[in-house]
Structure 1
Amino acid sequence: MEVIQTAIEGVVIIEPRLFNDARGYFFESFSQRDFDRLVRTVHFVQDNESKSSYGVLRGLHFQKPPYAQSKLVRVIKGAVLDVAVDIRKGSPTFGQHVAVELTEENHRQFFIPRGFAHGFSVLSPEVIFQYKCDNFYAPQSEGALAWDDPDLDINWRIPSDKIILSEKDKHHPRLKDAEWLFDYSENLYQ
C-alpha cells in the first residue's frame, strides 16, 4: 500500500496495491502488519457499514475519551467526500480539515486519528461505506460539531438544499461554541 501524507500530520490517505487481470481485481483491504509499519500502531476492534443515498451528510462526529476513536474508512460502492477536522485545542492545525473523495473506483482509504471530528457527504446515487474503529462505540461519549460551521468552511460538494441530515445532526454546536474538545498536549493513545 502507498501512504499519502496530508496537510495535517497523522491524517493519511491510503492507496492499496491493486492487481488487475481479465477476471477483475484483487487487493488487500487491510493488513495489520503493514498498517502498523506505515501508518501507526492501532488495534481495530469494530467494523461498521452504512448505506446512504445522494445528499446524505453524516457528521461531524467524534467520541470523547476514554472512548475516543481512530477510524479507517473506505467506500465499497459509490462515492463520498470524506472529511476530518482537527479539534485538538493547542494544535497548530486546530480547526483545519482535510477532505478526500473516496470511491469504489479509486479504492482509497482514509485514516482519521483520535482527536478529530469526522463526517462524509454522499456524492453518488447510493453509497456503501465501511469503517474500522479502534475503540467501541459508547453513546454516553458522543460529541459532534455543526456540519455547516462557517469557520470550518467545508465545501461538501452538494447544494445545501439537497443535503439530508439526521435530526441529531441538525443541532450540533459550532467549533467556537463547543463545550468539549480534545487537548493537543494529551496522548490519546495511552
Structure 2
Amino acid sequence: MPKLNVTRFQIEGPALVEPPVHGDERGWFCETWNRADWLDAGLPDVDWVQDNQAFSAAPATTRGLHFQAPPHAQAKLIRVLRGRIFDAIVDLRVGSPTYGKAMHVELSGKSPAAFFVPVGFAHGYQTLATDTMVTYKVSAHYAPASEGGLLWSGIGPNIPWPMPEGVVMSGRDFTWPTLGDLQSPFRYGDT
C-alpha cells in the first residue's frame, strides 16, 4: 500500500504529494517528510539542505516568480501551514516539450499536501487568505548572485492569478523580465 498519494501533471517533474493523515478525537497527525516513503513513491532523490518559512498578512500578496540559476539551482517542496495560496510554476527548461508552459495548484493549511517543484522552474505564489504561513524545503542554499526571476504577469494568460488587481509584492518582483526576454539558464535533461 503506497504511503504517499502522488499526483503528477502534464508537465514532467512537478508533483502534488499528499501524506496519509491519521485522525482521532484530538485532531490529526501525519509525517510531512519521510525519505523512504518519498523514494518508494517514485519521487527523485533530493538532498534538502534548508527549510524556509514565509508569513504574509494580506490576501493578494504575491511572491515570485523566482528561481536560482545553476550551480545553485533549487528544487522546492512547498506546504501551507495556515491560510491558503495559489501556487504557480513555469517550465524554464530550454528544449523541454513544455518550455514556457505554466501550471498551478491551490494549497491550504487545512491539508498537509505539498507541491514538489523540481529544478528548472520559476516558482511563485499568491495568498488567498489573511495571515498565511508557508513553509518550504529547498535543495540549495540561498545564493544571491544566482537569483533570477520571471515577471509574474509576463507570460500572457498562462497563469490565471486569482487576484491580479491590488497585488502586494516586493519592488524587485516588478522588474523581472518577461518570458520572451528571459535568457533561461536551464536545459532540459540537465536537471
TM-score above 0.5:
yes
> Does residue 170 in structure 1 map to residue 178 in structure 2?
no
Shift of 1:164: 0.6
* TM norm structure 1: 0.94
Q: In the TM superposition, what is the alpha-carbon distance from 1:55 to its structure 2 partner? A: 1.1
Q: 1:51 aligns with which of 49, 55, 67?
A: 55
2:75 equivalent to 1:82: no
2:148 is the counterpart of 1:143: yes
Match of 1:9 in 2: 12
Q: Choose which of 4, 25, 38 in structure 2 pairs with 1:22.
A: 25
Query: How many Å separate the matches in 2 of 1:85 and 1:164?
Result: 20
CA shift, 1:3, in A, is 0.6
- Aligned identity (percent) is 39
> What is the TM-score of this pair, normalised by structure 2?
0.94
Q: Please say if residues 92 and 184 of structure 2, whose CA atoms lie closer than 8 Å, have aligned partners that are also in contact.
A: no
Q: Which residue of 1 aligns with 2:111?
A: 106
- Flag structure 2 segments of 5+ consecutive residues without an equivalent: none
Q: Is the partner of 1:140 in helix, strand or coil?
A: helix
Structure 1 runs of 4+ aligned residues shifted over 4 Å read none
Unaligned runs of 5+ in 1: none
Equivalent pair of 1:67/1:136 in contact (CA under 8 Å): yes
| Alpha-carbon contact 1:14-1:109 (below 8 Å) kept | yes
Q: Distance in 1 between matches of 2:23 and 2:108?
A: 17
Cα root mean square deviation, aligned? 1.1
The 3 A distance-change label for structure 1 pair 168 and 12 is: same
Asked if structure 1 preserves the Cα contact closer than 8 Å seen for 2:88 and 2:102, the reply is yes
Residue of 29, 36, 40 corresponding to 1:37? 40
Q: Is the alpha carbon distance of 1:175 and 1:140 closer, same or farther for their aligned partners in structure 2, counting shifts above 3 Å?
A: same
How big is the shift at 1:179?
2.7
How far 1:35 sits from its partner (Å)?
Answer: 1.4
Q: CA deviation at 1:108?
A: 1.3
Query: How far, CA to CA, are the matches of 1:110 and 1:93 in structure 2?
Result: 18
1:90-146 deviation line (CA, Å, top 9, x unaligned): 100111112000001132100000000000000011210000001111000001000
Q: How many correspondences in the alignment? A: 186
Look up the equivalent residue of 2:19 and give its one-letter code.
P
Which residue type is aligned with residue 59 of structure 2? Answer: Y
**Paired residue secondary structure (1:35):** helix
Displacement of 1:37 in angstroms is: 2.7
